[in-house]
Amino acid sequence: MPPDDPSFEATSAGVVAACERFLAVERDRMACNFFVQDVCASFGVGDQVGGQANDIANRIGGKSFEALPSAAAAAERAAQNGWIVLAAAASPGGHGHVAIIVPGQLQTFPSGTWPLGYWGALTGAWSGKDSAQGFGPQHINFGFGPALRSVLKYGALPIGPLPISPPLTS
């Protein structure tokens, strides 16, 4: 895949279209970090998400990623406003997980309230589904096991020349 694809618009619909496209790529279905990197690269911000899932998670709240409150509503609102929004969890064991949040109905489960997202997965172990099928759009609680959900954080990355609106505005 080329690193940048000008066919995607810097909008929430463009992010969903990019997610759908990259779920069709085997390396992206099989690795969450590759999936996030390729979606972000299609908007010219792939350099912000290099490395493994733990590396990406540790960048949230840094120079490029605006940390969002650890609330599904803030993540969904930022996605609706056209930002690339990541859910990320670093694991002390070395392999965390990352997903891209997209606009959609929040869902409350016994484990909490969760936004919709897309992700790749190395083994499919987090969702109990066949990883060759790809993941999304699904509520992200199916992509992050209990240990990772406990350290989950959300970050927003502006795309395009100017952000559509700040991620926390309504």
Stated pTM of the model: 0.83
Q: Report pLDDT for 39.
A: 92
Q: Report pLDDT for 145.
A: 84
In a domain, 138, yes or no: yes
Number of domain units in the chain = 1
| pLDDT beyond 70 at 9 | no
Please give the Cα distance from 36 to 154 (Å, whole number): 14
In a domain, 170, yes or no: no
114-123 pLDDT, tens per residue? 999 999 887 5
The CATH number of residue 74's host domain is 3.90.1720.10
Please give the Cα distance from 120 to 142 (Å, whole number): 12
In a domain, 163, yes or no: no
In a domain, 6, yes or no: no
Q: Report pLDDT for 3.
A: 31
Segments forming the whole domain that contains residue 92: 12-157
130-167 pLDDT, tens per residue? 434 457 788 898 888 888 888 999 999 887 544 444 44
Q: Report pLDDT for 6.
A: 43
